Amino acid sequence: MRLALLVCALCVLAPLDAIAQRGAAANTPDITGSWERHRGGPGQARETIPPAAPQPPLKPEFLKEWQDRNRAAREADAKGTPLANNATLCLPEGMPGMMGATFPMEILQSKGQVTVIEEAFTQVRRILLDQPQKAVDDVEPGFYGHSVGRWEGDTLAVDTVGVKENVRYQNVPHSANMRIRERLHLVTPDVLWNEITIEDPATFEKPWTFTIAYRRMPGYQLLEYICEDNREFADENGLQKIRIGPTER
């Protein structure tokens, strides 16, 4: 009798579960696939191009640090002796830099998770759906941090904490407590906007919000990217140098 009840319960629950899964898939936008940065150009609808990012609203002391660093980089470039940076060392961009999609980017939607892969440096981040966010102190600092997300209607809202202080987007300083909020939504079937808001009361006077747009790359499969032989290096003065000379055939 008990067995019969259990079987009966399974008969009822199994289809409900299947319906729930189908329902979720039917109700959430399909953003799976390859994307590239969308900056406009011939044949592209102007209204799909987001406005340019404003300057980061840093507190005065951090704004000065940022401006001094940028000026030093510009002056070093003008002298033809660029400063070394994370890219010189072949380090990945981390968050939110990888969402700038300098190279093509792939989004994969699976049960309970949205995965973003950036072709450059084979960067991978996992957005855990419908999970509570951890306290910053419970996340080991990393390049991508800990991301949770949920669908709010047609918008994927993502919250990220735990990005290392030396992982900087456009050299902008931040504390270990930085929080990145993202709102991803399709503005046309083939253009995706990511409204990014960076909150960090220790370094910012107010949240910094800017939008990055992507367009679909139908049929494009991401290529491998391994920093196999980086000939660029930082010398003892922090300048970018390069190893040249004959190598074995």
Q: Is 233 in the site for other proteins (CB under 8 A)?
A: no
**Shortest gap between Cβ of 57 and other proteins (angstroms)?**
19
Identify which range of 5-13, 15-23, 79-87, 152-160 contacts other proteins by CB under 8 A.
79-87
Q: Is 81 in the site for other proteins (CB under 8 A)?
A: yes
Closest to other proteins by CB, 27 or 70:
70
Asked if 159 and 179 count as a contact pair (C-beta separation under 8 A), the reply is: yes
Look at residues 160, 165, 115, 113 and name the one whose alpha carbon lies nearest to residue 134.
160
Restricting to residues 21-50, name those near other proteins by CB under 8 A: 39
Extract the tokens encoding 174.
């931040």
Judged by CB under 8 A, which of 112, 230, 235, 238 binds other proteins?
230
Judged by CB under 8 A, which of 4, 5, 16, 244 binds other proteins?
244
Q: Is 100 in the site for other proteins (CB under 8 A)?
A: yes
Q: Is 223 in the site for other proteins (CB under 8 A)?
A: yes
Per-residue DSSP letters for 151-199?
EETTEEEEEEE-B-TT--STT----TT-EEEEEEEEEETTEEEEEEEEE
Q: Is 80 in the site for other proteins (CB under 8 A)?
A: yes
Judged by CB under 8 A, which of 47, 137, 140, 228 binds other proteins?
228
Q: Is 120 in the site for other proteins (CB under 8 A)?
A: yes
Closest to other proteins by CB, 151 or 233:
233
Q: Is 102 in the site for other proteins (CB under 8 A)?
A: yes
Q: Coil, strand, or helix at residue 6?
A: helix
Q: Which residues contact 144 (CB under 8 A, 6 or more apart)?
A: 94, 95, 98, 123, 124, 125, 160, 163
**Shortest gap between Cβ of 144 and other proteins (angstroms)?**
17
Judged by CB under 8 A, which of 118, 119, 182, 200 binds other proteins?
119
Residues in the chain: 249
Number of neighbouring beta carbons within 10 Å of residue 101: 21
Identify which range of 96-104, 126-134, 135-143, 192-200 contacts other proteins by CB under 8 A.
96-104
Burial letters 193-205, b for 16+ CB under 10 A, else e: bbbbebbbeebbe
Q: How far apart (Å, rounded) are the C-alpha atoms in residues 224 and 63?
A: 37
Residues at the site binding other proteins, with contacts judged by CB under 8 A:
39, 76-78, 80-82, 85, 87-88, 90, 93, 100, 102-103, 119-120, 223, 225-232, 240-242, 244-249
